Amino acid sequence: MTDSRTPQTTDRRVEIAAGLARVRSRIADACAAAGRNRAEVTMIAVTKTYPAADVVTLVGLGVTDVGENRDQEAAAKAEQVAAAGVVPRWHFVGRLQRNKVRSVLRYADVVQSVDSVRLASALDSGVTSVGRGRPLDVLVQVSIDGDVARGGAVPDSTDLDVGLGPVTEAVAGAGGLRLAGLMAVAPLGWEPERAFARLATVAAQVRMDHPQATELSAGMSGDLEAAIGHGATHVRVGSALLGKRPTLR
Ligand SMILES: *Cc1c(COP(=O)(O)O)cnc(C)c1O
């Protein structure tokens, strides 16, 4: 990883600015097409595999929210970014093992990938034991196709650990956590329209019991328009901003 103090080349800065301009205009167009206010949608720049210097550049261009999916990489990057005097809002969006909870709590403002009662409890105890002082914002990850192997709590399941009802109840009832809303990834092989329409139905059901769960994190580089059409308040964009990642992950 490049040191964040290494000045970034002008070429890279120009490339990132161009990517950002394209993504911002896609978001604006999608909001217009859906009859939504542009201010309702926040872009999270997903910077996994990219160096801290790219995060610093993005923040300099007005990006406020950054996402990472692996603790080891994120912890080091957050430290480098902070050393550069830059403080974005960090979202953890990847699979989270319970033994990584304490590390993630050191830098994450939001955890978007809570998909079991056991993980919610581990985060809640972690918040208490690190003396965080304010609750952690949590999005419950939803499995749109019910395939638990790929992550996500399962709607209409009575499973006491991974059923969506039990997970949202656990987060809402935890003093150290704030249930901010839901997150999902469109399943492989699903039309984004169909996936995000189903997600919108699930989100409306969750809001009947938990009206505070207003955020909906859905849509990535390839499908952000469909997600915005179905009510996404947060889109998580990586490759369309920063370029194709060297490895698929
Ligand atoms: C990598 C990743 C993204 C961004 O994906 P792109 O297709 O590069 O925009 C969004 N959400 C999650 C959970 C990710 O892991």
Spell out the SS3 assignment of 180-204.
Answer: EEEECCCCCCCCHHHHHHHHHHHHH
| Ligand 1 environment, Cβ below 6 A | 46, 48, 69, 93-94, 185, 220-222, 236-240
pLDDT the model gives residue 219: 98
Residues 184, 243, single domain; the answer is no
Could you give the count of Cα atoms lying within 13 Å of 142 in the half-sphere of its Cβ?
Answer: 27
CA 116 vs CA 90, 169, 173, 208: distances in Å: 21, 11, 14, 20
CATH for 64: 3.20.20.10
Q: What is the pTM of this model?
A: 0.95
CA 90 to CA 47: how far, in whole Å?
A: 10
Whether 162 contacts 203, CB under 8 Å: no
Residues 81, 2, single domain; the answer is yes
- Domain presence at residue 176: yes
- Domain presence at residue 155: yes
Q: Look up the domain containing 25 and give its range.
A: 1-92+238-249
- Measure the N-to-C terminal CA separation of the chain; round to a whole number of Å: 17
CA 143 vs CA 12, 53, 114, 193: distances in Å: 36, 33, 11, 15
CA 180 vs CA 23, 65, 149: distances in Å: 25, 15, 24
- Domain presence at residue 224: no
pLDDT the model gives residue 247: 64
Out of 236, 237, 247, 249, mutate this one to test ligand 1's pocket (max ligand atoms within 8 Å of CB): namely: 236
Task: Walk along the chain (249 residues) and give the pLDDT tens digit of each residue.
Answer: 455 556 688 999 999 999 999 999 999 999 999 999 999 999 999 999 999 999 999 999 999 999 999 999 999 999 999 999 999 999 999 999 999 999 999 999 999 999 999 999 999 999 999 888 899 999 999 999 999 888 999 999 989 999 999 999 999 999 999 999 999 999 999 999 999 999 999 999 999 999 999 999 999 999 999 999 999 999 999 999 999 887 654
Closest residue by Cα to residue 136 from 162, 115, 105, 167: 105
For helices 192-209 and 164-172, what crossing angle results, to 10°? Answer: 50
pLDDT the model gives residue 90: 98
pLDDT the model gives residue 245: 85
Among protein residues, the one whose CA lies closest to atom 10 of ligand 1: 236
